[in-house]
Chains A and B, each alone.
Chain A
Amino acid sequence: MESHEPHSEMYYVKIWALLLVLLIISICGPMLEIKILTLVTAFGIAIIKAGIVASRFMHLNVEKKYIHYMLYFMLLMVAIFFAGVAPDVMRNEGTNWINVESKSLIEHHANIMDPEEQEPEHH
């Protein structure tokens, strides 16, 4: 059970207001049209918002430590999966071979100026 006095409702409303401000910043970020800034605001703020929801709403800040460790472990698993698979899936050529299909797909899209054309029918 909770080991501390329940917070007042206002406490949670203030946190919600903070989350809203962060949301607005992350929406406005792209409007400046600087790519790096967009990514930093969008994902950096997402991480911060998630952290706030996790610690204040889910009460992870007062939860036992091993719940934290378990959650970090699961996130680590996702990171291992990403790190182990990305070098394979995200490279479409090796030192002596080229993935012809992917190469033509990427070039095809890089060349067109207008919106997406329909892919030719494949059986």
Chain B
Amino acid sequence: MSSNAAAGHGDHHEVSFWQKYIFSVDHKVIGMQYLFTGMFMALIGGFFVYVFRMQLAFPGQEVLGFGTVSPAQYNALVTNHGTIMIFWVAMPVLIAALGNFLIPLMIGCDDMVFPRLNRLSYQIFLLSALIIIGSLFVPGGGFGGAWTAYPPLSANSQYSLTPLGSILWVVAVALEFVAFLIGGINFVTTTMNSRAPGMKMFDIPMIVWMIVIASILFMASVGPLIAGAVMLLFDQTMAIGFFDPAKGGDPVLWQHLFWFFGHPEVYVVLLPAMGIVAEVMCTFARKKLFGYKTVIYTALGTAILSFFVWAHHQFVSGIDPRMANIFTVTTLLISIPVAEMLFVYIATLYGGSIQFSTAMLFALAFLVEFLIGGVTGIFLGSSAADIYFHDTYFVLAHFHYTFVPIAIISVFAALYYWFPKMFGRMMNETWGKIHFWGTVIPFNFIFIPLFILGTSGQHRRIYSYENFPDLATPDMQRLRVIATTSLIVMLVFQVPFLINFFYSMFKGKKAGNNPWNSNTLEWVAPSPPPHGNFAEMPEVYRGPYEYSVPGRESDYWPQNEKP
């Protein structure tokens, strides 16, 4: 095996802009394509939340940059905010962008095993993104039946009033699933087969493990929903009755199809986020991961348990209460492995020599905020309490306290951490810290009021509470205004990030190969890595977290350094 030979990319012919950036098969370019698409979609999702929160805080008033919000538009905004943030921001950035960019680098090879399939997966993904955006502009407007798309609202255009929007929504989501199935094949196969010589299974960096487990989890759970999406599409376009009781179908069947995937899906995005935090924390605590194998086994345990909890989303849908009992038990059980992972991370910090870089600050914030999110899930997991909490803002605050750490906070940690490797330059740390505080503090002031509103009984997905006297009290309205104001502050603080990000890309201080003195293989390659990644393919001699090893002068020990 000539795996140590230089990558056979000695062809120095001129590549056109199109070849190099648009139609490239290089995993790093494809990763960047996913990243920038995801960031763009985040702007759209963020704009939507600005508009509908303005409507909630100041009902009926014109929103700057949008106009008055009609009830139908409100529904479309909340639906597409959720859909876009999960499928077109969280998944592409956490799995596709980071997976594509990092996996070949971290396992010491020159690309993914199927570069052209990789490019195809991005192209399908891009098509799905264009379709979901397009769905907002068709006659009738964008789909407004919530990201969960329960029939008959989603199946029957006489109820949804968005005949085209509903169809395009389903098509976009289905295409996104196909793109991620294809992408996942690449990640799993590459990690299984293409590791550097000497890299045994337990020498693989945690984020690679997590992305691979997430991809397998996705593959194993999305099948029934793809079938369901086809069935929903037929209900929408041909008035078939898969989910119509009058024709013998069952709307609750859709709920099961959706949530059988929907619950594992949240772990699909959680695991890569935890992987990011592991990488960042070990580097900036200069300490070995407290329980590498424990984290892997609990991640696998979480993934498997995640298949047994889905009906906790359906406690009040009329399911058999005896089923609800079983799902309560499993749901409460699944908090154990996740908590275990958090404990391992906290134990990793203990005794470390912590450097408070911006990436580390975001990683630490992840732990704190996700803990709050997880703990509030316990209330929702008990079917008895859920009878009250279901469909209130308590649920919303719970899942934002989990999703925002996953999709925003850990992503920022990843971006600040791997920016030098991606672009060859350093981001500005001062502005990074300003961005950090301006993101995390307002975030809490958005969602703590929403917890309070939820326990006070505020329903979800309501355009205006004017007709709900109990919910339209001045106290409650004040909480809504606080939440909206904090959101605007948080959005404003993203501006320094964007400026920092794009300015540093071109004018930041040049970064060396390994600015953070980290162990993993991606820091061996130049910053940014050329086509083929490594001048000489690395060989691995130890695990990824050998920091502060007693008896060694240096506090880190790269994986590829000869013993």
The reply to whether chain A is a binding partner of chain B is yes
Interface of B is mostly: helix
Q: A91 CA to B318 CA in the complex, in Å?
A: 11
In B18-42, the 8 Å CB interface with A consists of none
* Residue B307 at the chain A interface, CB threshold 8 Å: yes
Q: Which single member of A73, A74, A87, A119 contacts B323 (CB below 8 Å)?
A: A87
Least CB distance from A121 to B in Å reads: 10
Least CB distance from B311 to A in Å reads: 7
Q: Which single member of A74, A84, A105, A122 contacts B260 (CB below 8 Å)?
A: A84
Q: Are B253 and A89 in contact (CB under 8 A)?
A: yes
- Please indicate the chain A residues that have their CB under 8 angstroms from the CB of B310 in the complex: 84
Least CB distance from B217 to A in Å reads: 10
Closest chain A residue, CB of each to CB of B256: A85
* Residue B8 at the chain A interface, CB threshold 8 Å: no
Q: Are B245 and A94 in contact (CB under 8 A)?
A: no
Closest chain B residue, CB of each to CB of A90: B250
| A-B contact number at CB 8 A | 49
A80-B307, A84-B310 known; A122+B252 contact, CB < 8 A: no
Closest chain B residue, CB of each to CB of A123: B158
Q: Are B248 and A88 in contact (CB under 8 A)?
A: no
A77-B307, A80-B307 known; A99+B220 contact, CB < 8 A: no
* Residue B319 at the chain A interface, CB threshold 8 Å: yes
Q: Are A101 and B307 in contact (CB under 8 A)?
A: no
Q: A101 CA to B248 CA in the complex, in Å?
A: 8
Least CB distance from B65 to A in Å reads: 40
* Residue B246 at the chain A interface, CB threshold 8 Å: yes
Q: A94 CA to B244 CA in the complex, in Å?
A: 19
* Residue B247 at the chain A interface, CB threshold 8 Å: yes
Contact with B along A77-98 (1 / 0, CB 8 A): 1101100110111010010000
Least CB distance from B264 to A in Å reads: 10
> How many residues on the B side are at the interface (Cβ–Cβ under 8 A)?
24
Least CB distance from A45 to B in Å reads: 25
Q: A74 CA to B307 CA in the complex, in Å?
A: 12
Closest chain B residue, CB of each to CB of A106: B248
- Please indicate the chain B residues that have their CB under 8 angstroms from the CB of A80 in the complex: 307-308
Q: A123 CA to B260 CA in the complex, in Å?
A: 31
Q: Which single member of B246, B256, B318, B323 contacts A122 (CB below 8 Å)?
A: B246
Least CB distance from B324 to A in Å reads: 10
- Please indicate the chain B residues that have their CB under 8 angstroms from the CB of A78 in the complex: 223
Q: A123 CA to B220 CA in the complex, in Å?
A: 37
Q: Are A89 and B256 in contact (CB under 8 A)?
A: yes
* Residue B60 at the chain A interface, CB threshold 8 Å: no
Q: Which single member of A73, A88, A119 contacts B220 (CB below 8 Å)?
A: A73
- Please indicate the chain A residues that have their CB under 8 angstroms from the CB of B224 in the complex: 81
Q: A17 CA to B87 CA in the complex, in Å?
A: 48
Q: Which single member of A73, A94, A119, A123 contacts B320 (CB below 8 Å)?
A: A94
Q: Are A89 and B252 in contact (CB under 8 A)?
A: yes
Q: Are B220 and A91 in contact (CB under 8 A)?
A: no
Least CB distance from A69 to B in Å reads: 12
Q: A123 CA to B239 CA in the complex, in Å?
A: 10
* Residue B221 at the chain A interface, CB threshold 8 Å: yes
Q: Are A88 and B252 in contact (CB under 8 A)?
A: yes
In B238-274, the 8 Å CB interface with A consists of 244-248, 250, 252-253, 256-257, 260
Q: Are A119 and B247 in contact (CB under 8 A)?
A: yes
Q: A80 CA to B256 CA in the complex, in Å?
A: 12
Q: A78 CA to B245 CA in the complex, in Å?
A: 24
* Residue A102 at the chain B interface, CB threshold 8 Å: yes
- Please indicate the chain B residues that have their CB under 8 angstroms from the CB of A105 in the complex: 248
- Please indicate the chain A residues that have their CB under 8 angstroms from the CB of B256 in the complex: 81, 84-85, 88-89
Q: A119 CA to B246 CA in the complex, in Å?
A: 9
Least CB distance from A93 to B in Å reads: 11
In B213-245, the 8 Å CB interface with A consists of 220-221, 223-224, 244-245
Q: Are A77 and B221 in contact (CB under 8 A)?
A: yes
Q: Are B320 and A91 in contact (CB under 8 A)?
A: yes
In A33-64, the 8 Å CB interface with B consists of none
Least CB distance from A86 to B in Å reads: 10
Closest chain B residue, CB of each to CB of A88: B319
Q: A91 CA to B257 CA in the complex, in Å?
A: 17
In B479-497, the 8 Å CB interface with A consists of none
A84-B256, A85-B253, A101-B246 given. 16 additional CB < 8 A pairs? A77-B223, A78-B223, A84-B260, A84-B311, A84-B323, A85-B256, A85-B260, A87-B320, A87-B323, A88-B311, A88-B320, A88-B323, A89-B253, A91-B320, A101-B245, A119-B246
19 contacts between A and B (CB under 8 A): A80-B307, A81-B224, A81-B260, A84-B256, A84-B260, A85-B253, A85-B256, A87-B323, A88-B252, A88-B256, A88-B319, A89-B250, A89-B252, A94-B318, A99-B245, A101-B245, A119-B246, A122-B246, A122-B247
